[in-house]
Amino acid sequence: MPKQQIIKQILVWRYKHISQKNFVYILSVVVGLLTGVAAVTLKNITYTIQSFLKRGIIFSENQLYFILPVIGLFLVFLYTKYLAKKGMTPIVPPFIKRAIPSLLYSLLRQKGLLSYKLIYHPLITAPLTVGFGGSVGLLGPAITSGSALSSNLSRILHVDKKTRTLLIACATSGALASMFKSPIAAIVFAVEVFSLDLTFASLLPLLIASISSVLTSYFFLGDELLFDFNVSEKFQARDTAFYMLLGIGTGIASIYFTKIYFAIYAFFDRFKTKFSKLMVGGIAIGIMLYFIPPLYGEGLSFTKDLFEGNYLHALGTNPFDAYTDNIWVVILLLIGFTIFKAIAMTTTFAAGGIGGVIVPTMVMGSALGNVIAKVINNIGFGHQVSEANFTLIGMAGLIAGVIHAPLTAIFLIAEITGGYILFLPLMITVAISYMITKNYMDHTIYTRELAERGDLLTHDKDHSVLTLMQLDSVIEKNFVKVRPEMTLEEMLHQAVSKSNRNLFPVIDKDTRLVGVITLDDIRTVMFDQELYKTTSVETYMHNPPEYIIYEKDSMKMVMKKFQHSGAWNLPVIKHGKYHGFVSKSKLLTAYRRELINFTQ
């Protein structure tokens, strides 16, 4: 029996015996399991490569480990050039450079339909990047692979766009839950990033997907937490000011992180070929790794060493080993790591590497938190704070600032470390960091590129509905055009008598709009035959109150132009020429329809 016939029979049986709600729950379980397997596979491949390089190659013993990221980037370059793109059309526009923005764009403009090749593509390129020492994380590739799995599953089962969106959010939630064993943070992350309303319609499938994905991770990887952190020093009220200082520090660092991210990408955009980007990026990464060895790879071992107070081991062997008995030299080295982690991460991306942002953000935050604690403890004020606690909470502060997801930051750090006892200082630092960055930057590295092009959904329903609407869907072209040199008589016979509209665009020989004319403009003269041949359209036409520029105006701007002008119809100009009209009645009807679809 053909495959399509089997699928058809399964779907018919499903419609008869399983309700839509229960079907979504079942799919949530499946998506969670598949995403969990993808995340575990990604981890195992990456760690296998790292283990092989550490045991089988003597680079590290000869201090030549900084060559490995260049090799990894070159392998990714070869794969993407000769294998990955063979017969593969572009998935998203080239201005979108990361996993989360590409998913957000796909959900908005491509109905969440992702190529099946994105299921295995990240499972190859991300381990080559991170396994060979690229300074990025694995969460982004895990989300891409899981989302592609859910998208293609929904395509096979003929799932509608809304359910497909929810399943991709479930895959995102499952990927984070599996990677970090943090189901609560995973749900919150999906809600904050995908702008889902927190209702049972979305909450329960996310919960189911997170649980099934975490169970998959426990089955394959055991019950060990990402960081084995035990709170040895509880929060004390007298430390509140210092946690506020940490919040300010992570807020400033988040702004730096975002600024340097886009600055480095802008620099690499000057190079015309991917190979030239690889060479420049590879050399830059090698130089940074030579002087700051902890930049190698994700950096999770670096953070673990900071938790344990073993900062010398965290810093590794470097040219400044002879001076590390001085605590201020150590602090300067940690500051250097904090500064260059963002540079190394973005350089890895811009040079062609594949990876995620969240883990590097966490590692950078841990270094910054440790630096602030060390400064407080050694500045001579006689006040001592817990370096481990500051290391932990610095991670949350930077995540909240960089991706504008404060609740995700709190629950993620609490869950992966078991540090729920530090909820209050977590909230203090995260709140301050988030407020600083949110006031300074409206958008994150995930959303800025989309927002600049009007392709970003938010929790603002009005904004989201207008973003979902397409200008083409409300343009009307059944207006009879007239020429400015036409006489009143010609207009009445050739236009007015043949149109069911009371508005007429006036265009020249090049189809440029030179004015508009309405029945009200000619109502008092349309029966005066003495004026039929002596007056022309040009006599009665006038300029419209506003113009809609097809290439430039978003639907939000279109709505504003109607609001400010008070007009019932506005002309659309495309490539400098008349293209049609948008009527307020059709615009509001389309808006209401989209609002109903969006909120159901």
Say whether both 558 and 525 belong to one domain: yes
Task: Look at the chain and report how many structural domains it folds into.
Answer: 3
Q: What is the model's pLDDT at position 585?
A: 84
The answer as to whether 231 is a domain residue is no
Using pLDDT thresholds of 50, 70 and 90, give the confidence band for residue 242. very high
% of the chain beyond a pLDDT of 90: 25
The answer as to whether 145 is a domain residue is yes
Q: What is the model's pLDDT at position 463?
A: 64
Say whether both 359 and 416 belong to one domain: yes
Using pLDDT thresholds of 50, 70 and 90, give the confidence band for residue 530. confident
Q: What is the model's pLDDT at position 190?
A: 85
For 181-209, write each residue's pLDDT tens digit. Answer: 888 989 988 888 776 655 656 788 889 99
CATH number at residue 579: 3.10.580.10
Mean pLDDT along residues 88-108: 60
For 302-334, write each residue's pLDDT tens digit. Answer: 888 888 888 887 887 777 777 778 888 889 999
Distance of CA 172 to the CA centre of its chain: 11
% of the chain beyond a pLDDT of 70: 86
Say whether both 297 and 191 belong to one domain: no
Mean pLDDT along residues 6-35: 81
CATH number at residue 346: 1.10.3080.10
| Mean pLDDT lowest among 327-336, 497-506, 586-595 | 586-595
Query: Above 80 in pLDDT, residue 103?
Result: no
Please report the DSSP string for 28-96 in residue order: HHHHHHHHHHHHHHHHHHHHHHHHHHHHH--TTTTT-GGGHHHHHHHHHHHHIIIIITTT---SS-TT-
Tell me the one-letter amino acid at 207: L
For 330-352, write each residue's pLDDT tens digit. Answer: 899 999 999 999 999 999 999 98
Say whether both 405 and 485 belong to one domain: no
**Average model confidence (pLDDT) for the chain?**
83
Using pLDDT thresholds of 50, 70 and 90, give the confidence band for residue 394. very high
pTM: 0.77
Q: Both tokens of residue 55? A: 């045991």
Say whether both 441 and 492 belong to one domain: no
Q: What is the model's pLDDT at position 60?
A: 46
Q: What is the model's pLDDT at position 491?
A: 87
Domain edge (last residue) among 221, 248, 273: 221
For 116-166, write each residue's pLDDT tens digit. Answer: 888 888 899 999 999 888 888 888 899 989 988 988 888 888 888 788 888
Say whether both 71 and 200 belong to one domain: yes
Say whether both 297 and 211 belong to one domain: no
The answer as to whether 161 is a domain residue is yes
Q: What is the model's pLDDT at position 241?
A: 92
Cα–Cα–Cα angle for 436, 342, 252, nearest 5°? Answer: 20
Q: What is the model's pLDDT at position 452?
A: 67
Say whether both 450 and 467 belong to one domain: no
Residue 81 DSSP one-character state: I
Q: What is the model's pLDDT at position 201?
A: 67
Say whether both 295 and 318 belong to one domain: yes
Q: What is the model's pLDDT at position 90?
A: 41
Q: What is the model's pLDDT at position 98?
A: 63
Using pLDDT thresholds of 50, 70 and 90, give the confidence band for residue 231. low
For 483-493, write each residue's pLDDT tens digit. Answer: 988 888 888 88
The answer as to whether 227 is a domain residue is no
Q: Mapping DSSP to helix (H, G, I), strand (E, B) and coil, where does residue 94 land?
A: coil
Say whether both 198 and 276 belong to one domain: no
The answer as to whether 232 is a domain residue is no
Say whether both 242 and 204 belong to one domain: no
Please report the DSSP string for 426-458 in residue order: HHHHHHHHHHHHHHH-SS-TTTHHHHHTT----
Say whether both 469 and 364 belong to one domain: no
Q: Which residues pair with 506 in a beta bridge?
A: 482, 515
Using pLDDT thresholds of 50, 70 and 90, give the confidence band for residue 212. very high
Q: Both tokens of residue 362? A: 């966490």
Name the residue range of residue 525's domain.
Answer: 463-599
Domain edge (last residue) among 436, 454, 472: 454
Q: Which helix (H) or strand (E) holds 503?
A: strand 503-507
Q: What is the model's pLDDT at position 87?
A: 43
Q: Which bin fits 218, alpha (ψ -120 to 50), beta or left (φ > 0)?
A: alpha
Per DSSP bridges, beta strands 475-476 and 548-549 are unpaired
| Mean pLDDT lowest among 30-39, 505-514, 523-532 | 523-532
For 422-473, write each residue's pLDDT tens digit. Answer: 888 999 999 999 999 999 887 788 777 766 666 565 555 666 666 767 888 8
The answer as to whether 97 is a domain residue is yes
